[in-house]
Structure 1
Amino acid sequence: MSEIDVLAARFEEHRVRLTAVAHRLLGSRAEAEDAVQEAWLRVSRAGGAEVENFGGWLTTVVARVALNQLRARTNRREELLDDAPPARLQAVTDPAEEAVLADSVGLALLVVLDTLAPAERLAFVLHDLFDVPFDEIAPIVDRSPAAARQLASRARRRVRGAELPDATERRREVVAAFLDASRSGDFTALLAVLAPDVVVRADAVAVRMGAEAEVRGATRVAEAYAGRARAARLVLVDGVPGAVWSLRGTPQVVFAFTVEDGVVAAIDLLADPETLAGLDLQPLPQR
């Protein structure tokens, strides 16, 4: 196997987490996937054989790409909007498209994050949602660790308490419906809660545990999960409704859901211990 093939294989082991980071930073799965691909192009040119903390380095690369996109987005708004009302996260002009985007990220969080300066947003998302230390965030935003901490603190004060209960409840109902249908083996109910092009992706550890690396399409996902998920429980995953399967009280696999337009658009299966250690899991009442 060539050096580039080895590098590509190592990169793929981290793709799910990198996409999650970029998605939270940019608010769009499509933009997140583009950012991760751009990060791969940079990594493939630079090489990474000598990097000790490969996962941390990749997170830094993706964060820098996302920060550049956020700054470019802000600059475009300043040039084009002048005295117009503040734009949403992506300056979406189609109300239907904006509604889908807002539902996938969390309406209130989407709006509040969009009011933050790019550096504030990056510091908050990386530290509070992905547990990246401030001494690693600092060079990305060209600040000292203390200044990076202040950026996150300012962002946290504006975000705290902003999530709309109705938006979270809608997402919770969709995730709960998926789990109920999966446990009961109700194939029709599963199809009803899945987007036609739904995708389930598993990280490398989940694959070693027996999950398929990727399953696409509502029919295939429903077939794969009918009668399953009996031990999965509703939780908040970094403040977003999701599910977790635990063994003797220790999380083994987290199901991170992307909900769009009232149905499940994607599920990321996260089983890497390092990834799980960085997630904030809060139990939700079971119905």
Structure 2
Amino acid sequence: MAPVNSLNAPCSLSATPAELDGTAGERRQLINVAYRLLGSLTEAEDAVQDAYARWCALPRSRQEEILSPGAWLTTVTSRICLDLLGSARTRRERYIGAWLPEPLPDRIEWDRAGGADPADQLILDESVGMAFLIVLEPMTPAERVAFVLHDAFRYPFAEIADALGRTPAACKQLASSTRRRVSASRAPVTATGRADVVRHVKEAWETKDIAALIRLLDPGAVMTADGGGMVGTALRPVEGGARIAQYMVAIADKAPGLELLERSVNRAPGLVAQRAGVVMTVASFDVSEGRITRIWVVRNPEKLRLWAREG
């Protein structure tokens, strides 16, 4: 792990992590770890801020004893995420409808809108893909931490053991079992093929062509929507290509004035629905053999804050 430079500088409750270490490098790494663990940029930012606050609370003498502040911060951030993942299971039992990860725009979307990128710390690779994050959801908190830290960020098991309070051998076993389940559930697809399918879905949805949508959807396709109880949406997954196609056309009939845009969602081709320039829905897709197999629809406005400047 890369060390944090100048973290022994005086801490202030109002100081940002970047101000504390003089560089955004370590914070960027921590944000990337925490988002993949939690599936929420908001919670990831809070977890990292909490880790820096704990660093600041250490006596100066204790800070000077720590050879690698970066490793210390990663361990603390991972433990905070571990606790959050444990409590998240209880919170999600009370969540209205399905819970989905917070969708991320591509950096080019912020560049198009102008201004600073509020999530410029994030590295958008396949480990932020919606399908990847969804596969991790049923894993135990310890499995998720071990797998993400090792497979996505290449941290050694000796350091992961410090975060989980387990032996390196136990952490290796956790990561290995999770890796097998992740590999078994992921179907390879080219970005070009996925983009073409998503574009055809957009065109069929706009023309309300149920037959075309059915051809594009796998017969066993599943659509899951997250409204968080704040906006209307399907509370249970819609299963079957024909039912999903009918549902999509029914929504189009009930929501005149919606504009569909092709956008990158968590580094993969997706669709954004907006009305009068305001993003209402972000949809991401999983594609296998030229057909849509999964659709994840996020409508919870609290999870769409990064899309506020879309247009």
Q: TM-score, normalization: structure 2?
A: 0.46
Greater RCO, 1 or 2 (C-alpha within 8 Å, sep 6+)? 2
Q: If you compute each CA radius of gyration, which structure gives the higher value, 1 or 2?
A: 2
Report which of the two has the higher share of helix.
1
